[in-house]
Structure 1
Amino acid sequence: MVRPLLDRLTDSNALSLGILGVGNIGIVHLKSAVAMPDVEVVAAADAVPENRARAERAGASRTYDDYGTLLESEELDAAVVALPPFLHADAVEQAAQAGVDVFVEKPLARSTEEADALLATASEADIAVGVDHTLRYQPDMVGVKEAYDRGSVGHVPYASITRLNDGPLGRPPADDRPPAWPLDPDAAGGGSLLELGVHCFDVLEWLFGELEVRDASLGQSLEIDVEDAATVLMEAPEAGTTITLHCGSYQWEQLPEVNTRLRLEGVTGTISNRDHLPENFYAGAAGSALSNVASRFTGDEPDVFGPTFYLRAHYDALADFCEAIRAGERPPVDGADGRRTLALAERAAELAAAEPAATDRDPDEPETPEVSL
Structure 2
Amino acid sequence: MLSQFRSRAGDSRTLSVGVLGVGNIGTVHLKSALAMPDVTVVAAADAVPANRDRAERAGVERTYDDYATLLANEELDAAVVALPPFLHAEAVERAAEHGVDVFVEKPLARSTEEADRMLETAARAGIAVGVDHTLRYQPDVVGVKSAYEDGDVGHVPYASITRLNDGPLGRPPAETAPPSWPLDPDAAGGGTLLELGVHCFDVLEWLFGELEVRAAATGRTLDIDVEDAATVLLRAPEAGTTITLHCGSYQWEELPEVNTRLRLEGIAGTITNRDHLPENFYAGAARAALENVASRVGVADRTVFGPTFYLQAHYDALADFLEAVRTGEEPPVSGRDGQRSLALAERAYDLAAETATDEVELPEVRP
**Structure 1 length as normaliser, TM-score?**
0.87
Cα–Cα, structure 1 residues 264 and 53, in superposed 2: closer, same or farther, change >3 Å? same
Structure 1: which 5+ runs fail to align?
1-10, 298-302, 359-373
Q: Summarize deviations over 1:70-129 as a string: whole Å, max 9, x none.
A: 000100000000000000000000000011000000000000000000101101111000
Shift of 1:182: 0.2
Q: Deviations over 1:7-47 (max 9, x none)?
A: xxxx9521000000000000000000000001000000000
Match of residue 158 from structure 2 = 158
3-state DSSP of counterpart to 2:227: coil
The CA deviation string for residues 260-286 of structure 1, in whole angstroms up to 9 with x for no partner, is: 000000000000000011232354989
**Residue 329 (structure 2) aligns with:** 329
Distance 2:20 2:53 in 1: 14
- Could you say if the C-alpha distance between residues 50 and 147 of structure 1 is closer, same or farther in structure 2, counting changes exceeding 3 Å? same
Which residue matches 1:87?
87
In the alignment, is the contact (CA less than 8 A) between 1:88 and 1:109 conserved in 2? Answer: yes
In structure 1, what is the Cα distance between the partners aligned to 2:72 and 2:36? 25
1:59-98 correspondence runs (5 A): 59-98=59-98
C-alpha distance in 1 between matches for 2:81 and 2:152 = 39
Q: Could you tell me whether the CA contact under 8 Å between 2:20 and 2:26 is conserved in 1?
A: yes
The answer for the alignment partner of 1:99 in structure 2 is: 99
Q: Which residue of 2 aligns with 1:47?
A: 47
The whole-number CA distance in structure 2 between the counterparts of 1:23 and 1:200 is: 23
Q: 2:138: which partner in 1? A: 138
| Alignment partner, residue 36 of structure 1 | 36
CA contact (8 A) 2:85 2:187 kept: yes
Change (3 A) 1:267 1:305: farther
Matched with 2:301 is none
The residue correspondences of 1:249-288 to structure 2 (distance < 5 A) are 249-281=249-281, 283=284
Mapped pair 1:353 → 2:364: no
Q: Distance in 1 between matches of 2:180 and 2:356?
A: 31
Deviation, 1:222, is 0.8
The answer to whether the Cα contact below 8 Å between 1:31 and 1:59 also exists between their aligned partners in 2 is no
**What letter matches 1:88 in structure 2?**
H
Q: Distance in 1 between matches of 2:357 and 2:243?
A: 24
Question: What residue in structure 2 maps to residue 309 of structure 1?
Answer: 309
| SS at 1:262 equivalent | strand
Local SS of the residue matching 1:312: helix
Query: What secondary structure, in the 3-state scheme, does the structure 2 residue paired with 1:230 have?
Result: strand
Match of 2:24 in 1: 24
2:339 corresponding residue in structure 1: 339
Please report how far the alpha carbon of residue 253 of structure 1 lies from its aligned counterpart in structure 2 after TM superposition. 1.0
Residues 357 and 304 (structure 1 numbering): CA distance in 2 closer, same or farther, change over 3 Å?
closer
The aligned amino acid for 1:47 is A
C-alpha distance in 2 between matches for 1:304 and 1:244: 36
Q: Equivalents in 1 of 2:246, 2:255: separation in Å? A: 16
Residues 31 and 305, structure 2, Cα contact 8 Å, conserved in 1: no
**How far 1:304 moved relative to its partner?**
5.9
RMSD: 2.1
Give 2:82's aligned amino acid: A
Once the two structures are TM-superposed, the CA of residue 58 in structure 1 deviates from its matched residue by: 1.3
2:111 aligns with 111
Q: Distance in 1 between matches of 2:329 and 2:295?
A: 31
CA distance in 2, matches of 1:183, 1:229: 14
- Seen in structure 2, the aligned counterparts of structure 1 residues 227 and 275 have a Cα distance that, compared at 3 Å, is same
Deviation at 1:187, TM superposition (A): 0.1
1:289: how far off?
A: 6.8
Amino acid of the structure 1 residue aligned with 2:42: V
Where structure 2 has 5 or more consecutive residues not aligned to the other structure, the ranges are 1-10, 299-303, 359-367
Counterpart residue type for residue 146 of structure 1: S
| Dislocated runs of 4+, deviation >6 Å | none
**3-state DSSP of counterpart to 1:223:** coil
CA drift at 1:357 = 6.7
Q: Structure 2-normalised TM-score?
A: 0.89
**Given the superposition, is the C-alpha separation of residues 346 and 289 from structure 1 closer, same or farther in structure 2, using an over 3 Å criterion?**
closer
Q: Judge conservation of contact 2:34–2:305 (CA < 8 Å) in 1.
A: no
Name the amino acid aligned to 2:58.
A
CA change 1:165–1:357 in 2 (3 A) is: closer
C-alpha distance in 2 between matches for 1:17 and 1:127: 14
The aligned residue for residue 228 of structure 1 is 228
Aligned-pair identity (%):
77
Instruction: Please tell me whether the aligned partners of residues 218 and 356 of structure 2 are also in contact (alpha carbons under 8 angstroms).
Output: no
Distance 1:241 1:331 in 2: 28
Of 170-179 and 41-50, more deviation after overlay is shown by: 170-179
C-alpha contact (below 8 Å) 1:167/1:249 kept by paired residues: yes
State the one-letter code of the partner of 2:272: S
In 2, are the aligned partners of 1:304 and 1:312 still within 8 Å (CA)?
A: no
User: Retained in 1: the 8 A contact 2:84–2:187?
Assistant: yes
Whether the aligned pair in 1 keeps the contact of 2:46 and 2:52 (CA below 8 Å) is yes
Cα shift readout 1:103-158 (whole Å, capped 9, x = no counterpart): 00000000000000010110111100000000110000000000000001000000
The corresponding residue for 1:318 is: 318
